Structure 1
Amino acid sequence: MLRQKIRTEYRNKRQALSAQQQSTAANNLLTTCLSSTTLAQAKTIACYIANDGEIDPKAIIEYCWQHGKSVLLPVLHPFSKGHLLFVEYHPNSATRKNCYGIEEPIVTTTNLCPLTNIQLILTPLVAFDAQGNRLGMGGGYYDRTLAPIRRDLLSTQLIGLAHNCQQTDILLTDSWDIPLNGIATPEQYFDVG
């Protein structure tokens, strides 16, 4: 399957980056986001904890906390298989590893945030093209969860975060794939809508 081959190739590329390359990329990513995305204006931002060689948004999260922004992280939905919830994340938030080994905040009745309240979602990805197409890990979690945005029911901005080496010429898409409004890399911003 072509998508799986691309997924493997680009996961290997990002995993091959040294710790120094990862650190430099993460710091430069914040600069790109501040100059080119809605990060500075947004008050409620969903992000992620890096895993599997993903570009680390830690500097973005720290920036958000320093500027009084609400930071959310995705959590596997406990009752709706294949979907995500977005949960408030603070420096002292209790976390645990999910079934994929990814740290996520512990869900409580008071820390959930509905999708309608999120202004900006910064998503991880495996590969992307300049047209705003995103290839994820293959589970479809973001596509299912963000379907209301595709149907123009929400004005949430979707920005993919990636290393430069994750760009490909063109990605074939399926009907359920959610297009991004832009992609931020350490070197540039692709504004696609």
Structure 2
Amino acid sequence: MIETAGLSRAQLRRLLRERRRALAPQRQRQAARRLYRQLAQHPLFRRCRHVALYLPNDGEIDPGLLLDAAQRRGKATYLPVLNAWPATRMVFQRIHPGEALHLNRFRIREPRPNRARQRKVWTLDLLLMPLVGFDCEGGRLGMGGGFYDRSLAYRTRHKYCRKPALLGLAHECQKVDRLALASWDVPLEATVTDKAWYAADRKMMRRGQLHRDPCGACE
């Protein structure tokens, strides 16, 4: 575990990115298999009908086995897609097995934008998120672009709108002692690594509870 005292966010981000990029391909594949075993039979994953994931980049842990499992089980699966305009907006678009992908401006694979297949984030059941660093209290350090924070900003305005369940995915080496949350940061329910679960909302994790939207619309 890395101690964050005396490190700026930029310094911490650089250190953690170096750590995950240093993992050998064999270690990455092993971590992906272990991540799958951690999550595949958990009630949160088994019960969800609409789940968003990501495709790995820059040494991120690979949720590809979970994506394959979700599609085999008949779940609707989604990937993040960056808008051309406004350039700071990200949406979630349904993806089908074998679909052709292209590289976005960050050289990350994503489907071609298709509004008819996009879904509002608050109507998803489960969102599996990449991260650079995490702590045990739901803190998440991202790449610095703020795409996920902007997509989830409605949760700070509508306190009772708790969908989707938010799980960060990471290598164990990305764990830090504590992350100071900014006002725009949206905490995770838990982070899942290749070795363990770190649940901030322990009651929800034990029950495998999927949040329901009591107000019907979180806009």
- Give the TM bin, normalised by the shorter chain: over 0.9
Confirm or deny: 8 A CA contact 1:50 1:56 kept in the other structure: yes
1:140 aligns with 2:146: yes
Report the residue type matching 1:92 in the other structure. Answer: G
Measure the CA separation in 2 of the matches of 1:81 and 1:173: 24
Measure the CA separation in 1 of the matches of 2:58 and 2:145: 15
* Larger of the two Rg values belongs to structure: 2
Measure the CA separation in 2 of the matches of 1:37 and 1:127: 25
CA displacement 1:106-132 (0-9 Å, x = unmatched) = 111321111132010000000000111
Measure the CA separation in 1 of the matches of 2:41 and 2:135: 21
Deviation at 1:80, TM superposition (A): 2.6
1:115 is matched with which residue: 113, 117, 121? Answer: 121
In the other structure, the counterpart of 1:128 is 134
CA displacement 1:64-120 (0-9 Å, x = unmatched) = 011001110001123333121000111222211100000001111321111132010
TM-score by length of 1: 0.95
Which segments of 5 or more consecutive residues in structure 2 lack a partner in the other structure?
1-6, 202-219
Distance 1:173 1:102, change over 3 A: same
SS at match of 1:38: helix
Deviation at 1:21, TM superposition (A): 0.5
2:182 is matched with which residue: 170, 174, 191? Answer: 174
Report the residue type matching 1:182 in the other structure. Answer: A
Report the residue type matching 1:8 in the other structure. Answer: R
Report the residue type matching 1:73 in the other structure. Answer: L
Confirm or deny: 8 A CA contact 1:133 1:173 kept in the other structure: yes
In the other structure, the counterpart of 2:50 is 44
Deviates more, 1:136-145 or 1:87-96: 87-96
SS at match of 2:45: coil
Confirm or deny: 8 A CA contact 1:119 1:155 kept in the other structure: yes
1:13 aligns with 2:19: yes
In the other structure, the counterpart of 1:30 is 36
Report the residue type matching 1:97 in the other structure. Answer: L
TM-score by length of 2: 0.84
**Superposition RMSD on alpha carbons, in Å?**
1.3
Confirm or deny: 8 A CA contact 1:71 1:89 kept in the other structure: yes
Deviates more, 1:101-110 or 1:65-74: 101-110
Confirm or deny: 8 A CA contact 1:48 1:73 kept in the other structure: yes
Measure the CA separation in 2 of the matches of 1:145 and 1:76: 11
